[in-house]
Amino acid sequence: MENFNFHVTTDIRFGKDRLDELPTVLNEFGKRVLIVYGGGSIKKNGLYDKVANELKENGNTVFELAGVEPNPRVTTVEKGAEICRQEKVDVILAIGGGSVIDAAKVIAAAAFYQGSAWDLVLERKGFAGPALPLVTILTLAATGSEMNTNAVITNWKTKEKLGTAGPSMLPKASFLDPQNTFTVNQYQTAAGSADIMSHLIENYFNKTEGTDVQDFVAEGIMRAVIKNCPIALKYPDDYDARANLMWASSLALNGLTGNGKQGSWSCHAIEHELSAFYDITHGIGLAIITPRWMEYVLNEQTAGKLAQFARNVFGVEESVDRMAARMGIQKLYDYFKACKIPMTLPEVGIDDEKFSLMAKQAVAHSSIDKNGYVPLDEAAVEEILRQSLVERNFE
Which of 325, 332 has the CB closer to ligand NZQ?
332
Question: Shortest gap between Cβ of 290 and ligand NZQ (angstroms)?
Answer: 12
Candidate segments 18-26, 146-154, 215-223, 375-383, binder of ligand NZQ by CB under 6 A? 146-154
Cβ(358)–Cβ(340) below 8 Å: no
- When binding is defined by CB under 5 A, the residue of 177, 195, 215, 295 that contacts Zn ion is 195
Amino acid 108 reads: A
Edge-to-edge strand order for the sheet containing 32-37?
Answer: 11-14, 173-176, 134-138, 91-96, 32-37, 61-65
What span, in angstroms and rounded, lies between the C-alpha atoms of 91 and 38?
A: 18
Q: Cβ-count burial of 291 within 10 angstroms (0-12 exposed, 13-18 middle, 19+ buried)?
A: buried
* Rounded-to-integer distance, Cα 364 and Cα 21, Å: 45
- If the CB atoms of residues 261 and 282 are measured against ligand NZQ, the closer one turns out to be 282
Figure out which of the listed residues 261, 282, 305, 311 binds ligand NZQ, where binding follows CB under 6 A: 282
DSSP conformation class of 183? T
Chain residues 33-92 in contact with ligand NZQ, contact rule CB under 6 A? 38-42, 45, 70-71
Please say whether the dihedral angle defined by the alpha carbons of residues 381, 383, 389 and 391, taken in this order, is positive or negative. Answer: negative
Check binding of 148 to ligand NZQ (CB under 6 A): yes
- Closest distance between Zn ion and the C-beta of residue 220, in Å? 19
55, 84, 92, 98: residue in contact with ligand NZQ (rule CB under 6 A): 98
Site track for Zn ion across 298-337, x = CB under 5 A: ----------------------------------------
Give the number of residues in contact with ligand NZQ, rule: CB under 6 A.
35
Nearer to ligand NZQ, 71 or 244 (CB): 71
Nearest one of 316, 322, 349 to 334, comparing CA atoms: 316
Binding mask 189-208 for ligand NZQ (x = CB under 6 A): ---x--x-------------
**H helix runs in 156-265, sequence order:** 186-204, 212-234, 239-252
Residue 202 interacting with Zn ion (CB under 5 A): no
Buried b (16+ CB within 10 A) or exposed e, 245-257: bbbbbbbbbbbbb
CB 46 to Zn ion: min, Å = 28
Out of 120, 135, 152, 222, name the contact with ligand NZQ by CB under 6 A. 152
| 160 interacts with Zn ion by CB under 5 A | no
Alpha helices in 12-122 (DSSP H): 22-27, 41-44, 47-57, 74-87, 98-110, 117-121
Residues of the shown chain interacting with Zn ion in the complex, contacts defined by CB under 5 A: 195
Residues of the shown chain interacting with ligand NZQ in the complex, contacts defined by CB under 6 A: 38-42, 45, 70-71, 96-100, 102, 139-140, 142-145, 148, 150-152, 180-181, 183-184, 188, 192, 195, 253, 268, 282-283
